[in-house]
Structure 1
Amino acid sequence: MGKKTKGKGARSALSVIILSLTLFWVFHLTSPDRGQTTPPGASSAGQVTAPAVAAAVPKKPESPAGVCPPFKLRDEQGQIIDPVHGINDKVPYSPRQTCGACHNYQLITEGFHFTQGKGEALPKEYGERYNWVLFPGNYGGNWCSPAPLYRQLAPKKNTNPRMIDMTSFDFVTASCGACHPGGGPLEYDRDGQRYDARMRDPATGFSPGGDNGLDGDYFKARWSDTGIIEADCLLCHMPEYNYKKRNDQLADLNFKWAATVGANFGTVIGKVAAGQQPEVAYNREAFDADGNVKLHLAPEPRNEACLNCHAKPGWKKRGAAFSPRTDVHLKAGMRCVDCHPAGSKATDPRIRGKEVHQIGKGDEPALFVRNDLDNTVRQCADCHISGYLNAPIAKHEGLPSLHLEKISCQACHIPHRMVKSAQVQVSDVFNTGPLISPPPKRIWTFYDPFLKYWNHYGELARFTFKDQPTDPFRPVLTWYKGKIYPVNRVHSAWPGFIEEGKPGLNQAFMKDTFLMWQQHRQNPALYPELALIRDDNGDNVPEVNRSEEIDAFLKSVKSYLTDTKFDLTGKTLVWVNNDRAYTSGTQWRTLPKSDFEASPYASVYKYSHGVAPARAALGAKGCADCHSKEAPWFTARILTYPFGEDGKPVTMSQADHLKYQTVPSDAEPWTYWTGIFFISLTIIVMVGLVGHMLLDAWRYYQGNGKGGDRD
């Protein structure tokens, strides 16, 4: 072949090589896996390989565990209960003696679900804020409601019965016992002694219903009649457990009989509350021919067991629906225990161990129980980086690394909520809404994310949790520990005290504010200043917001407390509105708080449930989902104070709250246009090379068709 032909062939071969390299580079640039590396312990297909699994498996194999064999029920003395043969069949069974015969009852009841803060030291910043707090959990500290003015645990030692609000005995009947699984503060007093045994001890001088030395565990208590509430294993591990019947027994003060009825082992005749001695009538069908109990046990609690306690408060605090309709994880069939493991199934060494019942927990700004166990729950990255159990691997093509460093997964993947939550709880007016129970909760008035009055307890009574109305809204975004999270920043207003020599605040008793309003409503001549508090914004609900209303409220509360001989020595009454403590309608001081809080005396709840599909996440439609003047990431109005002088909400922009100096323009950011430029350049180069190669080929074949060059 001639030299010219060889030169054309070489150029064509070079063009093919360049084109191949270009196509490889373009494919690599646009590939979904571009920039991704296979994480340690994961295969390229997203499967977890042996090293990752081995890291989570104990070095020593655990002893095999199986289903519980048929077993006898036992009473508090450890004596067998056998209704089939008429043996000891009038007494309630004891979970401690029955389940504890095979399982480590002591280890199990060390879990924070049982202790609920009892015995824990207060974090320094927590103790300096809340002067009424004794422990950091629902028992003695934090409130079940999103904001204060809930019942407070009495100190162990007291000198004035008027200053005792809720004792350990009252903790059971103040609706707390309805969700407490038993054990912990429902079994032992603050000295570590069993309540009923200590009350029966003649050396103490205690008597049922007596003053009992004004002891915060025994004042007016009836432990020797009611018995104590042992940790009820079946409450979580028996799918057919009857929570309502169990709680009915607690309301009747049949404490130690509640577990028997809840497990459907039998019925109880008699009520301690009525001065009767209860007696069990066992259900023979619950036992086999040998007198062993027949049970359906779930080694890992079903979702329904968790939701029995967490569904209702989750609705109030976070707008949680726990529904496949609102959460991709539940839609995929996942269970609570998949992300909140415990015992041998836990992955974090802090909570891992046979029969250890420290359930995996997150990191809530509002909660202080066992902070040392924060983030023992499975994190998003645990599954979506490794592909664990076929979880989709998160790729985030083109997203600058700064976003992943500063923005939580939830901020983009929970862009909206389908069910409203309580964004405001004021505890200073009387709520006349229907179906609010128990009555003292009528001084709680909730407002939703749209600042509309919300009768949460009425809806619970009428609709139940399964009939939650759909009220979509976008969460507030806030900085927490260096990342942006979607949260519910609760706002609050309530009566409290400044106490001499103490840095924080104390609160008035919930019952006092309720009784003050109740007496005024029955006789307007009592505490007449309350009549000045009216509806200023036309929503048919009165609110305290004007200076004269603040003065009227403070004067009325002080009068009631004085009339009822509440000890106000060393106390200055204040009306608290978010981060302000008002001593009068015109004088107030600012209370220190964190930026993520609306009030240092109301909760902040992170949103972690209700995850939307990836295609619905912020950024799925492009950068303009956030980076535009219309994007709520920057322009949404968030609440600063529930009511201004005119009764209308005081708001600020989301950008101001996040401390952004500028708001992005409508245009896409430079990173977007840079990507567009290089993709366009690649396409142009590729088209040019293809054209050049085709032109070369055409010329080559044209030359061959004419005989080409000759020697």
Structure 2
Amino acid sequence: MTTTRLIVLIFISTSICTIQVPAQETKLGDVSDGNRSTPVHLIDLYDEEGSLIRPGDEPMLPFSTRQTCLPCHDYHKISSGWHFNAANPDVPPGRRGQPWILADRTTATQLPLSYRNWTGAYQPDDLGITPLQFIQRFGRHMPGGSIGDDEERQAPENVMRWWVSGKLEVNCLSCHDAEQGHDQAEFDTQIRKQNFRWSASATSGFATVRGSAKDMPDNYSIYGSLLDDGRKIPPSVAYDKTRFNTQGKVLFNIVRQVPNERCYFCHSTKIITDESERWEFDEDVHLVAGMKCVDCHRNGLDHDMVRGYEGEAEEYDKPGAATLTCKGCHLGEDLSESPSAGRLGAPIPKHVGIPPVHFRKLTCTSCHSGPWPEENAYNIKTSRAHALGTHRVNRSDEALPHILAPVFVEQEDGKIAPHKMFWPAFWAQVEGGAVKPLDPEIVRPVAANFVERDTLGTGDWPDLTEQKIVAIMRGLVEGDSTLTPAYIAGGKLYSMTESGGLSAEDHPVAEPYSWAFAHDVRPARQSLGIRSCGDCHASDSPFYFAKIGIDTPVASQNGTTKIMVDFQDTSSFYARLFGLSFLFRPALKIIVLAASAVLIMILFIYLLRGFSLFLQSNRD
């Protein structure tokens, strides 16, 4: 009877609570009252359990961005934004973008990875890479959230490690912290130590983190544990007590408009030339003019940021994004009910003398973005691909992965756009015609026996001969007799023949991976075609005929190239023939003008004769 009564009381109390708890209301910081100034963020710190953090707490815990920001902001809605939703299968992948590139010199690997369903990129899960492993490798340039904050994606074998490391929550400070002492490179340091729950605190300008969760046993507790090894330091945080006011609150320098410096940490590009000094290169013209990245790449509370490519507005049903493309901002949208061109003072180009076919076949960025094309495509390094800005960056210009730009590639919409490109290289298992990449961790123990050490630390390709490829394949088969190994590099798939030799064939999985880019935008006086049509249509124009190196570690294929036109829907013969026509056009214009002058003279002579005959007939 007592038990039954207790159950009834619990049910009633639960029902009452359910009835009385109102629906989720819009929070204080999620809707503007119309004032354009930035609110002051003098706030309490909360740990991951929602407990207040005060100076002198023991143990002192790192603040949680979720719990600290939650009183005023809808964390769940924010965490569904573009920077955090890659692993959500319900989110359309959008135009193909830069993947995470798994680069490993020992196994001669540079493999495109993405949780988005982009053609040519592989899901980390397909290689057996767990979210924990993925974050440790690439979390350096992630703003938290996504797979780092999703318990459902945690691999069972890593559950205990997640308890020790904590979740990698959305780090609001990665973008919105304008404090001078903010150090995003420290985020990478903490990620490598598996100090996920401490990472946001470490980047702030008022906290110091020591120790490593990676060194702690699976049963370690942040609330106190005895360690068998005194040399291992447990993770801990110490706050600058002077930052707490008399009420225990901390002042954050939070800004609504994300500073360009925050964007640059993850989105920088280095062009490798003989003169690679920073002062020799100019910033994007929009930034030089005083704009911010977020003036175009805007978002609402959902943080679903506008990427800015044509067709995005229709693809994601975001009409407001239409005027945030190059065309929408500078030329306006035809369907707009009111004038939309010239946003933020954007000049409206006249494009005098340019045949309309160019606007059907080319994106704006083809003429206006990236480095001026030369005889050979540039080698470049990017923040996400090469860990730029972190303490562990390899500053060598030869370090993997090897990315080329600009490469003018025809997009799915039929327009040519400048792309960044690299040639995938990886070991794989062939099953019934399907090629499945192997995790480099599986290959490394075997490959290390045949690949020379990188004693100079260049991070460049190893010298991989065909004999070494066969030897590595045999080693893999010895370790797993069910394996049918293959190696993909430089546009070819290599496999062992029955006689023990090596065969090579062109294969779709070996095709280069490329993604369009829009920055840095050059001044209008440096756009393609500014000098003459020959900028693109000369018989040796880089737009069509620049050399694109086929990047591969396979010694027998070194030095092979393609030309730019190979990545466009046209033939090199047609491009050269059309280019030759420009050699005769000046002469043709002279001939036409001369012929026109002769015709005019003949007509004038006949006109005079006719007038003379008319006068003579009148006299008669």
Q: TM-score range by the shorter chain?
A: 0.5 to 0.7
| Residue 496 (structure 1) aligns with | 428
Partner SS, residue 429 of structure 2 = strand
Inter-CA distance 664–487: structure 2 relative to 1 (3 Å threshold) = same
| Residue 100 (structure 1) aligns with | 70
- Tell me by how many angstroms 1:497 deviates: 1.8
Partners of 2:263 and 2:594 in 1: CA distance: 50
Match of residue 235, structure 1, among 174, 177, 188: 174
1:636-651 map, 5 Å: 636-639=546-549, 647-651=557-561
Inter-CA distance 331–111: structure 2 relative to 1 (3 Å threshold) = same
Match of residue 245, structure 1, among 173, 180, 186: 186
| More divergent stretch after superposition (657-666 vs 328-337) | 657-666
> Does 1:109 find its partner at 2:21?
no
Partners of 2:142 and 2:175 in 1: CA distance: 11
Partners of 1:457 and 1:656 in 2: CA distance: 24
| Residue 341 (structure 1) aligns with | 298
| Residue 414 (structure 2) aligns with | 482
Match of residue 129, structure 2, among 166, 178, 191: 166
Q: Does the CA contact (< 8 Å) of 1:320 and 1:609 recur in 2?
A: no
| Residue 325 (structure 2) aligns with | 379
- Tell me by how many angstroms 1:105 deviates: 0.4
Q: Does the CA contact (< 8 Å) of 1:476 and 1:489 recur in 2?
A: yes
| Residue 469 (structure 2) aligns with | 553
> Does 1:616 find its partner at 2:526?
yes
| Residue 272 (structure 1) aligns with | 213
Partners of 1:479 and 1:676 in 2: CA distance: 37
Q: Does the CA contact (< 8 Å) of 2:430 and 2:484 recur in 1?
A: yes
| Residue 535 (structure 1) aligns with | none
| Residue 485 (structure 2) aligns with | 573
Partners of 1:646 and 1:613 in 2: CA distance: 42
> Does 1:262 find its partner at 2:203?
yes
Match of residue 582, structure 2, among 667, 676, 681: 667
1:521-547 CA distance string (max 9 Å, x none):
689xxxxxxxxxxxxxxxx97644xxx
- Tell me by how many angstroms 1:657 deviates: 4.8
Inter-CA distance 669–110: structure 2 relative to 1 (3 Å threshold) = farther
- Tell me by how many angstroms 1:360 deviates: 1.4
Inter-CA distance 124–294: structure 2 relative to 1 (3 Å threshold) = closer
> Does 1:226 find its partner at 2:169?
no
Partner SS, residue 445 of structure 2 = helix
Q: Does the CA contact (< 8 Å) of 2:477 and 2:485 recur in 1?
A: no
Match of residue 416, structure 1, among 357, 361, 372: 372
Residue type at the aligned position of 2:136: T
- Tell me by how many angstroms 1:359 deviates: 1.4
Match of residue 78, structure 1, among 44, 50, 53: 50
- Tell me by how many angstroms 1:672 deviates: 11
Partner SS, residue 190 of structure 1 = helix
1:177-192 map, 5 Å: 177-190=139-152
Partner SS, residue 537 of structure 2 = coil
Partners of 1:79 and 1:641 in 2: CA distance: 54
| More divergent stretch after superposition (264-273 vs 400-409) | 264-273
Partner SS, residue 621 of structure 1 = coil
Partners of 1:170 and 1:123 in 2: CA distance: 23
Residue type at the aligned position of 1:511: E
Partners of 2:66 and 2:129 in 1: CA distance: 27
Residue type at the aligned position of 1:456: A
- Tell me by how many angstroms 1:621 deviates: 1.4
- Tell me by how many angstroms 1:96 deviates: 0.9
Residue type at the aligned position of 2:379: S
Partner SS, residue 178 of structure 1 = helix
1:191-236 CA distance string (max 9 Å, x none):
6xxx6xxxxxxxxxxxxxxxxxxxx353475122222121111121
Partners of 1:140 and 1:244 in 2: CA distance: 24
Partner SS, residue 455 of structure 1 = coil
| More divergent stretch after superposition (97-106 vs 64-73) | 64-73
Partners of 1:125 and 1:479 in 2: CA distance: 13
Q: Does the CA contact (< 8 Å) of 1:254 and 1:271 recur in 2?
A: yes
Partners of 2:478 and 2:392 in 1: CA distance: 26
1:287-686 map, 5 Å: 287-311=244-268, 325-343=282-300, 355-362=301-308, 372=316, 376=321, 378-385=324-331, 386-414=341-369, 416=372, 420-421=378-379, 454-456=397-399, 475-480=406-411, 481-500=413-432, 504-520=434-450, 543-544=463-464, 549-550=465-466, 552-560=468-476, 562-563=478-479, 566=480, 569=482, 571-584=483-496, 587-592=503-508, 599-600=510-511, 602-639=512-549, 647-655=557-565, 657-658=567-568, 659-660=570-571, 661=574, 662-665=577-580, 667=582
Partners of 1:576 and 1:99 in 2: CA distance: 46
Partners of 2:360 and 2:310 in 1: CA distance: 19
**Aligned-pair RMSD on alpha carbons?**
4.8
| More divergent stretch after superposition (73-82 vs 643-652) | 643-652
Residue type at the aligned position of 2:49: Q
- Tell me by how many angstroms 1:181 deviates: 1.7
Inter-CA distance 230–580: structure 2 relative to 1 (3 Å threshold) = same
Ranges in structure 1 where 5+ consecutive residues have no aligned partner: 1-60, 127-131, 156-163, 196-215, 344-354, 424-435, 447-452, 460-470, 524-539, 594-598, 686-711
Partner SS, residue 426 of structure 2 = strand
Partners of 1:271 and 1:590 in 2: CA distance: 46
Inter-CA distance 398–495: structure 2 relative to 1 (3 Å threshold) = same
Q: Between Structure 1 and Structure 2, how many residues are aligned?
A: 495
Partners of 2:304 and 2:169 in 1: CA distance: 18
Q: Does the CA contact (< 8 Å) of 2:271 and 2:380 recur in 1?
A: no
Partners of 1:306 and 1:592 in 2: CA distance: 34
| More divergent stretch after superposition (237-246 vs 216-225) | 216-225
1:170-200 CA distance string (max 9 Å, x none):
22222x2212222221122236xxx6xxxxx
Partners of 2:515 and 2:409 in 1: CA distance: 11
Partners of 2:81 and 2:128 in 1: CA distance: 27
Partners of 1:653 and 1:514 in 2: CA distance: 34
Partner SS, residue 102 of structure 1 = coil
Inter-CA distance 328–256: structure 2 relative to 1 (3 Å threshold) = same
Inter-CA distance 387–671: structure 2 relative to 1 (3 Å threshold) = farther
Q: Does the CA contact (< 8 Å) of 1:498 and 1:506 recur in 2?
A: yes
Partners of 2:537 and 2:506 in 1: CA distance: 34
Inter-CA distance 139–99: structure 2 relative to 1 (3 Å threshold) = farther
Q: Does the CA contact (< 8 Å) of 1:169 and 1:217 recur in 2?
A: no
Residue type at the aligned position of 1:92: P
Q: Does the CA contact (< 8 Å) of 2:545 and 2:564 recur in 1?
A: yes
Q: Does the CA contact (< 8 Å) of 1:147 and 1:490 recur in 2?
A: no
Q: Larger Rg: 1 or 2?
A: 1
Partner SS, residue 475 of structure 1 = strand
**Under a length normalisation based on structure 1, what TM-score does the superposition of the two structures give?**
0.59
1:97-152 CA distance string (max 9 Å, x none):
110110010000001312333445898999xxxxx9xxx99565689xx998x9x7
| Residue 61 (structure 2) aligns with | 91
Inter-CA distance 279–185: structure 2 relative to 1 (3 Å threshold) = same
